Amino acid sequence: MTTATSDSDPDSDPAADTHPGVDEPTDRERIDAWLALADDETVRWHGRPRIQTVVPWLAVAVLGMAGIAVAVAVGWLSPLALGWLPVLSALPLWRYVRVARTAFVITDRRVAIRRGVLGVSVRAVALERTQNTTVTQGAIETVIDAGTVAVETASGSTLAFRSIDDPLVVRRVLERAATGDAVGEIPGTRAQWEAVRDEVRNWRVTIEDATDPCEDR
């Protein structure tokens, strides 16, 4: 992602005073900060869990706080129970931070997951050590095109991209990366296709010479 620039007056843009001349880091730079990408390593896909996974936690927090407030108001609970309100309000915030700091990456060499709120945990597995991939979608997830992609490794462990968008597409990207096929690219090098072109031309010339009626005269 790049930052769009404008020729307008910088006084009209508050960000121009706070971060003068600073470009927003690209997706590759963000990934490289925790995965240490090789210079010739290509990122095929990256994502994170859907932000909507915070909604159930938010609902629990709101209902819990409302229940405690009502119980204290009618005398069912001691006013000391109001001390739980900050704890409940922190639940969806904690979940949001977890989602925001979770990252899933597929490159042409490995699969990686970053997790952590206070600290960072990174797990990466080389593509040649990946085996089966499965997609799990519940009834609601099927409707909204979300789900979980699980990757089995040669050691028997599993890496899971949970609650991501377009899980079937992500599985195809992973499978093509594992087989060495570039997504969206024509297989083969330029030199190989030029060799095929030259060979076709030679066959065409040979066929035309063989069928030229002038040769029989």
Average pLDDT over every residue of 88-107: 94
Asked if 167 and 137 touch (Cβ cutoff 8 Å), the reply is yes
pLDDT at 173: 94
Alpha-carbon span 136 to 69, nearest angstrom: 39
**What residues contact residue 152 under an 8 Å CB cut-off, 6+ apart?**
130, 131, 132, 133, 134, 158
* Rounded CA separation 213/217 (Å): 7
CATH class, range 18-48+104-183: mainly beta
Percent share of the chain, pLDDT over 70: 81
177 contact partners, CB below 8 Å, separation of at least 6: 44, 106, 107, 108, 127, 183
Which pLDDT score is estimated for 159? 93
- For the segment 5-43, what is each residue's pLDDT rounded down to a tens digit? 334 444 444 444 444 444 677 889 999 999 999 999 999
Q: What is the pTM of this model?
A: 0.70
Please state, for a pLDDT cut of 90, what percent of the chain lies above it. 58
Burial 78-107 (b: 16+ CB within 10 A, else e): eeeeeeeeeebeeebeebeebbebbbbbbb
| For residues 91-107, average pLDDT | 94
Confidence of residue 209 (pLDDT cuts 50, 70, 90): confident
- The reported pLDDT for the residue numbered 195 is 82
Res 51 pLDDT > 60? yes
The better pLDDT of the pair 4, 215 is held by 215
Instruction: Say which residue, 128 or 12, is predicted with more confidence.
Output: 128
**CA end-to-end distance (rounded Å), the chain:** 68
Overall residue count recorded for the chain in this entry: 217
Residue 199 confidence (pLDDT):
84
186 vs 17, residue with greater confidence: 186
Q: Which of 17, 36, 20 is nearest to 28 (CA)?
A: 36
Average pLDDT, the chain: 83
